[in-house]
Structure 1
């Protein structure tokens, strides 16, 4: 083996994990393995890893993730039924070798190279959208002005769906949000987080997720003042401190439609992460009303 091949073999593989049912613990364990680097965007990944069972209704969401990974790319289904004909399935506890093989693969496109929401030339005079406001370019409605919920100033408000594989949110959670800048104006839970079992509520796992969102390493978490980075009066400091001591948190959150409006995005994702997955799942409806 040449020195260049040796370097390539030992290099870290960038992996984007789409976490399904009972996949949180698997992914946390994988993230500590040498040779694998979990990334927060499919744009930075080489391999799409589906960890844990994902409902067939989310197959299109997985296909969109696959399309966002720059080629060449590979796919691994880890303890997850295959939802499209790409990649290798792993039943055991260690997907390392399959990930390395996927890093040398070159999956073809799974979805056609066309806009998911056609809009060009849809207007009555050949312009790019319905009516004078331009429709939904690239699937996003144009923002419309409304009074800011904090100070009454008129700001653009836009609505979008977030999840189910957004790393900042609990796996499986789908939120329909209306936002003004980074402030949430209204929220609806379209689907609950995936069940993770008792292991998903483990203090070490819950603390690791919050610390990752805060950009703080495990050692720095015990430094003086680390918890001060969390908003005061939200209970987040108390819950994270309990997890860092190895204690179980039994608090239940208010439903997201009641708790998220008025919060900034960064605070909202930390608030969601400050509750055990099972407790958050219990207050989210199975389907949007």
Structure 2
């Protein structure tokens, strides 16, 4: 409990050193009483409730490692600061066993400097960590909340598959299961990753069959069709960039210059991002914990 009490002031300090503009926050309002980000802003970015952030800062909640990683991304913590937060939250023994879930500064800069290209950052197990505004406008996916609906494998087998159509769905499913198996082999002691795999196997017969059949393949670059509700189908090249050492994947959508899809993407960069840039200040936040097990 003492370590949780130590974590609270640190969270407040880290929250206080950031401004909404530092994290690309679209909130459009600021508090005259409190410097830095408000609890509501941190909650939205991390995918938890404002009350949960308050309890964390008061040392009255015990966050999972997944919650700590989500807060680290929201607060732009360094590697050393993230390790400190994990230790104070009681996850020091997991530091070497956990699959990396932190966006590095160089990847953050890349994400910030590609506003005209839909880009999202995923961890090695295909959980979406962050995205730019154009990705949100194109796919309709809300900014990563840190729950299982942010995981591509989960969505393929158990959730809402979203707007993206794959040219060869069966091959795609087999390859993404094989990819997840490779990651699970590298991080056998990551409890959240193990929980994800277990839940998928219990709830999806197809996933269990592919996992047990040693499905092979690699989730790679392909042309995809995104079915946008207003602009119709948009055919885009999908490139996957792996960041060695950080265990991160970037999915990047681009259009052939001069094509109809390029025109639609350009239009979306104007009208789509405007619609998602100013959420109402009174929007409710659904209480949740990131990466909670079954």
The structure with the greater share of residues assigned to strand is 1
Q: State if a TM-score over 0.5 links the two structures.
A: no
The structure with the greater share of residues assigned to helix is 2
TM-score if structure 1 supplies the norm length? 0.26
Work out which of the two has the higher radius of gyration on C-alpha atoms and give 1 or 2: 1
TM-score if structure 2 supplies the norm length? 0.26
